[in-house]
Every structure is written in C-alpha cells, then in structure tokens.
Structure 1
C-alpha cells in the first residue's frame, strides 16, 4: 500500500485533530527526518486564513522552547499543509493524568514553568500571544529538562492586527478570554498558572492546591490566575526570576538535576 504523501513528506500517522486541522507525524522522503504536519480539514477560507496566520507568526520564531516552521504547502485539492519541526516528548496533561494522578513533584513543576516563561519572554517581546496555554500544549522532554509550547492555532498579534481569539480551552482560559476580549500577555500568564495548578494536583475552579505544595509556590501560581488581568503579573522575565528565588529558598537550589520519570 502506497504511503500518503504531502509534498516531500510521507505521512506516518495522525497524531492529533483540532477544530480545523489534522496533525500528522511525517518523514521527509529524502532526508528521512521527522516532521509535524498540520493540514486544514475543511476547505473554507476562514480555516485557511487561520493556518496561514499561524504560519506567519511562526515564520521567524527560533527558540528551544518553541517549534519552528519548515514549509507551507498547497495541495491539489486546495487545502494547506504547514510543516513544522517534530517535538518528541509527552504532553503535560498526559504526564499528570497517566503518570502522576495525585500531582507532579513541585520541583519538576518549577523547571517546566521556567521553560514556558522563557517561551513567553520571546513571544511577548515580538508581540505574539499564544492564546491557548493548556497542559496539552506543553510537550515535556525530561532528559533535556525542556518544555516546548506547541499549537499556535489561536495565537494572535497583540499589536492590534488581530484583536480576538477565535476559540480557547475554557478550563484553562482567562476570564477576559471567555468574555471575548482581545488577548494580552496576561492571558497567557493565566493559562500557565492554571495549567501548573492542575499539574500540581490542584483544582482549577476552586484555585486550591494540595498541602504538600510549599506555601510560597502556591502564592506564586495564585497570583498568575487572578480574575482581573490588571492585577496579574505580565513580565515573564520578572516571574522567572521570582520563581528562581523561591526555588532557592524552598529547595535550597535554583535548578534541579532530579529526573522526571514518565512512561512512553
């Protein structure tokens, strides 16, 4: 049976399906290197524009905690396929629900948070808001002690060109996002805080965390999910520094060599 092919890439398997696109694991037919391909499902102008917007935002992105754009392909049927770097690892949602149902060790949550804050620093500097910072969009690479923020389908430029997110994941979305207001850096900060409260074994609705989570760390994440965006921190660099100080005070070190054990 002949393999499905998109441009110079053979499709290996489908690895995701969103509201407007399928995501595939693919392999370059000559280089034999893996790639990730997102192809719009419906041949609508709106869906195509969303994929093009995502590609434009990723065009100049070069950061170890962000995927990179490889190519944009138009198929014979009129659909578009965006080729990105393949990010191996396991998403934070699966790690929490499958490997650590009672909550992930706070020390691991700290370094994961700092990696994502590094991605925010880069994105926000260039005027980009991710818009859907849920646990499923954080790929964790334990051996490299890295976390990669993926899926830019809802990303917008907060400079004014794009003024409204077309959708979001309600459980991890900021209040202003649910109200349909323009996304801002504080919107991403909320999503990260909510994700980490969840990963620690906490409850998003009640904004509570297990007593095993150090109090200073609890306060750190709770400030990120304040209802009023004007009362939330919005500086990723300052947040990373603050978290580093908390790690030093609580754990006696600003970095960790502990291994996060995951299955699969």
Structure 2
C-alpha cells in the first residue's frame, strides 16, 4: 500500500462523524446491509492495516487510522442491528423491556454501555423473595454467542475451583447464563447475567481522570490485586487472554478489584490446544505477537498485558514499555521484564512476581500502608 492511499483514507476518516459517511447508503435486509458494509470495511482495512506498514514511517499512523476505522465499523454494525442506520437524525433511545426464562423474569432498566462485542444493561430480578440488581451482557451479533458461552464455561470452572470462596471477589459473579429467542427478529442470543456492583471504575476511566498518570503507590495496590486475580486463574489452568484497561475494574474506596470479560479465555491450553480466538479490536496493538501467531497461550501472556496496563496507569508508554525517568528505575526494570517480546523470557508465575514486587516496594517505600485513592464523581 502507498502513502497516498493512506493519506486519502486519513482525509476520509478525519471528516467522518458517523459511520454512514464511510459506509455510504445501504439498502435491503439487515443481513444484506451488514454484508455490504463488511465489504467496504475489508477494502479500507487493507489500506489501513498496520501490519502492511511494519518497519516504515507510516506504521504508527496506520495503527491510529485502523482503530478509527474499526470503531466506525462497530458503530455501523450496531446501527444496522438497531434499524437506525441511515437515519442520522435519530438518536439512540432505550426503552425498558423484560426477558423471561424458565426460572426468572429479568426487568431491564438501563443501557449501561456498548462494548466491543456486547451491550451491557442493568436490571433486576427476584431470587428467594428478594429483588436483586443484575448486569446483563448481551452480544450485539449472534455470531458472538460462542464467546458468551465460553465466558460462562470459564466462570463456572473457576467457581468450582479450589480457593474460590476466598478469591471470588476478584472475578465477576455469574448469576445466570441462557439462550434467548427474540420474538421480533427470530435471533437467538446467549446472555450472561452477573451480580451488579456499584462504584467500580475501569482502568481506562482511571487513566482518563489522571492524564499524567497516577501515584506509583496507588498503582502498587492495583497491581498486587491484579496478580492475585491472575494467580487464581492460572492456578486453575485458565488464561484470561484479554487483560486490558477496559477489563480491570477497581473500587477506589475499598481498594477492590474485579477482572472482567472472560469471553476470550482458554482452559488447559497445553492439553486442549485452545488458542485465543478473538481480540478486542480497539486494543489490537496491546496484544503480544504470540496471539496473532496463534501460539499456545501462557500465564506470561496475561502478565505482559497486565503490566502494560500498569505502565499506562503510571503515565508511561505501554507499547514502547517505558516509564518517565522521574519514576524509580526499579519499577521500570521490573515491568520491562514482565513485557519482554519473547514469551518464554517473561515471568510465568504471578505469585512469585507478587512476592518480588512486595520486596521491591518495601525497599522503595517501607512497610505497606493504606494509600487513599479517589476518582471524580460520575
């Protein structure tokens, strides 16, 4: 691909406010509209894909444009699914609805957010005579039902694992998982329901609130809890596969942490041959190379991705694996070792890494103390 083609795409994307300005007028059934938009996306993706520009001056620019294009493609799919593509004047609206299963009635009250693959809703249901708040995760495309089923499989496996009662707060509490037939569309979607927890913020939100980076002592308690969550998973033969800023949730006041979205996880990959089968497209360049090479996932994959999140939290560059020179060199060295390009050279034991970190921070700051951390009110 030439720089001229990339320049042209850059101009198009810089002017695009809505997906219609990239994918044009689409007609026919929803399936036909999706197919037409997909063809356009693939044509443009060939121009912007960063792999095409490896080792050239356009590599970073292509990566940025590819993210922008992917985001617009995701918005186009969502608008087509909702029947509002091509109706720019129509704002996305939410109307509360009910989902009835053989055992429960779910009252869906609010649309919380759109993720890469799913839409999250808050609602409530009755259990043992009590009304309980829940979080419903519904795939935007039926083609992603397998990822929802995989998440339920992994969380059920962890729930049956040794140490779950002590460490269950580090993973989402799966309440229910079922297939649901939408009467209007005839589409079947796999839905996962989780216990809802108030007061959680993603590390993406933390980074946005602290653009210069957070205090290393705040990063320290977050990192320790990430390692505890990963050690629990790895000890039970699970590789998360997508430890990203959007999937690490913290409770600032309680210093709590939940590692969410186990849709991409694999179980016993050495025995089963399972590989990471999907990625979060918005964070494509956060994934180590072995994911794209379909190599056997190891604990070092999760550790490397989690360490990049910490570099980002500290105001560093997660891709160049660097921190500000003002921060202790020991932290730089520690996280550089966690993010080595060769997966066989990275640490593979989250518990040993936690012990090493505790030794490091005690040398830097003395005995551990509770460090108050706050986030702006939503």
Name the TM-score, length of structure 1 as normaliser. Answer: 0.92
Structure number with greater CO (CA < 8 Å, separation at least 6) is 1
Kindly indicate whether residue 186 of structure 2 is the aligned counterpart of residue 76 of structure 1.
no
Unmatched runs of 5 consecutive residues or more in structure 1: none
SS in 2 for 1:193: helix
Once the two structures are TM-superposed, the CA of residue 94 in structure 1 deviates from its matched residue by 1.0
Note if contact 2:202-2:250 (Cα within 8 Å) is conserved in structure 1: yes
Q: What's 1:260 paired with?
A: 373
Once the two structures are TM-superposed, the CA of residue 34 in structure 1 deviates from its matched residue by 1.8
Once the two structures are TM-superposed, the CA of residue 200 in structure 1 deviates from its matched residue by 0.4
Partner Cα distance (1:58, 1:198) in 2: 28
Partner Cα distance (1:181, 1:25) in 2: 37
Q: Highest CA radius of gyration, 1 or 2?
A: 2
Task: Name the structure where helix makes up a greater proportion of residues.
Answer: 2
From 203, 214, 219, the counterpart of 1:104: 214
Once the two structures are TM-superposed, the CA of residue 11 in structure 1 deviates from its matched residue by 1.4
Kindly indicate whether residue 142 of structure 2 is the aligned counterpart of residue 43 of structure 1.
yes
Kindly indicate whether residue 105 of structure 2 is the aligned counterpart of residue 5 of structure 1.
no
Partner Cα distance (2:117, 2:319) in 1: 28
Partner Cα distance (1:103, 1:35) in 2: 32
Note if contact 1:111-1:256 (Cα within 8 Å) is conserved in structure 2: no
Note if contact 2:308-2:319 (Cα within 8 Å) is conserved in structure 1: no
SS in 2 for 1:244: helix
From 251, 257, 280, the counterpart of 1:141: 251
Distance 1:58 1:240, change over 3 A: same
> What CA deviation, in whole Å up to 9, does each residue of 1:149-189 have, x standing for no partner?
11112111124335221222323212211323232111101
Residue-pair matches, total: 260
> What CA deviation, in whole Å up to 9, does each residue of 1:181-205 have, x standing for no partner?
2321111011011111111000123
Kindly indicate whether residue 178 of structure 2 is the aligned counterpart of residue 64 of structure 1.
no
Once the two structures are TM-superposed, the CA of residue 2 in structure 1 deviates from its matched residue by 7.3
Q: What's 1:92 paired with?
A: 203
Unmatched runs of 5 consecutive residues or more in structure 2: 1-93, 183-187
Name the TM-score, length of structure 2 as normaliser. Answer: 0.65
Note if contact 1:107-1:256 (Cα within 8 Å) is conserved in structure 2: no
